[in-house]
């Protein structure tokens, strides 16, 4: 009986676009229906309510956004250098495919923390726990440990590990969050800005090396 139906997927993608553009409060069910090319009643047929539809979308988006991030940050088998490279590379690529993701996630998390924190926790086990035997962010324990070791054995410059990690994340994510403003500032067209972001991966890696590694020799080459 089941029509080989992608309708629910079409709806989900349409809803994602609209929610990302306008947020939960600003999104209209009618607009989502139009975007999906269906009737508004069908929307309620597939997803009981706006809230339900939103949660489905948001859950997926959190997963896409957070799972790779957290996975790489606390993978116990990566060296410090590879961890950084992998993080930057995988993150820029994820975000190039989903440019609207981070702003959307931050938006909703900020307007309704209570309702959504639990969703975050589903995908990032251990965010809440702060048990006595773990002195600090267990999420980042390995990463921070590697940086501390590097500072002790002289291979790393002095940094506050948390500030360093936050800087790494900032350099990757902010260009997407601040896209419209930065595009205005740099006077770049849509495609031009995409290229700019694609080139950004290696530039960030170079910066992070200059910050962290004592023996790193800044690359040379043709001036930009």
User: Hey, which residues between 3 and 42 contact a second copy (CB under 8 A)?
Assistant: 21-27
Among 46, 47, 171, 205, binds a second copy (CB under 8 A): 171
By CB under 7 A, residue 112 contacts DNA: no
Partner whose footprint covers residue 95, from DNA, a second copy, none (CB < 5 to 8 Å by kind):
none
User: Hey, which residues between 14 and 73 contact DNA (CB under 7 A)?
Assistant: 27-30, 38-42, 44-46, 48-51
DSSP characters for the chain? ------HHHHHHHHHHHHHHHHHHHH--HHHHHHHHTS-HHHHHHHSSSHHHHHHHHHHHHHHHHHHHHHHHHH-TT--HHHHHHHHHHHHHHHHHH-TTHHHHHHHHHHH-HHHHHHHHHHHSTTSS---TT--S-GGGHHHHHHHHHHHHTTSB----HHHHHHHHHHHHHHHHHTHHHHHHHHT--HHHHHHHHHHHHHHHHHHHHHHHBTT------S--
By CB under 8 A, residue 207 contacts a second copy: yes
Among 1, 2, 97, 218, binds a second copy (CB under 8 A): 218
Give least dist CB 10 to a second copy, A.
22
Decide whether 41 or 181 has the Cβ nearer to DNA.
41
Site residues (vs a second copy, CB under 8 A): 21-27, 100, 102-103, 105-107, 109-111, 113, 117, 120, 124, 127, 130, 136-137, 139-140, 148, 151-152, 157-164, 166-167, 169-171, 173-175, 177-182, 184-187, 196, 199-200, 203-204, 207, 210-211, 214, 218-221, 223-224
């Amino acid at each position: 009986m089941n029509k080989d139906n992608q309708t629910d997927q079409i709806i989900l993608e349409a809803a994602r676009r609209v929610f990302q553009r306008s947020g939960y409060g600003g999104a209209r069910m009618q607009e989502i229906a139009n975007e999906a090319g269906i009737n508004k009643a069908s929307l309620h047929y597939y997803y009981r309510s706006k809230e339900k539809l939103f949660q489905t979308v948001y859950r997926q988006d959190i997963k896409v956004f957070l799972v790779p991030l957290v996975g790489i940050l606390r993978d116990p088998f990566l060296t410090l250098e590879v961890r950084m490279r992998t993080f930057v590379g995988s993150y820029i690529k994820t975000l190039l495919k989903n440019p609207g993701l981070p702003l959307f996630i931050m938006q909703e998390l900020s307007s309704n923390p209570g309702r959504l924190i639990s969703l975050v926790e589903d995908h990032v086990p251990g965010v809440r726990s702060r048990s006595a035997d773990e002195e600090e962010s267990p999420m980042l324990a390995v990463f921070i440990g590697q940086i501390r070791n590097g500072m002790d054995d002289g291979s790393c410059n002095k940094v506050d590990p948390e500030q360093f990690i936050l800087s790494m994340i900032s350099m990757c994510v902010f260009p997407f969050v601040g896209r419209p403003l930065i595009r205005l500032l740099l006077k770049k067209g849509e495609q031009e800005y995409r290229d700019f972001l694609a080139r950004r991966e290696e530039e960030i890696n170079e910066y992070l090396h200059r910050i962290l590694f004592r023996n790193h020799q800044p690359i040379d080459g043709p001036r930009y």
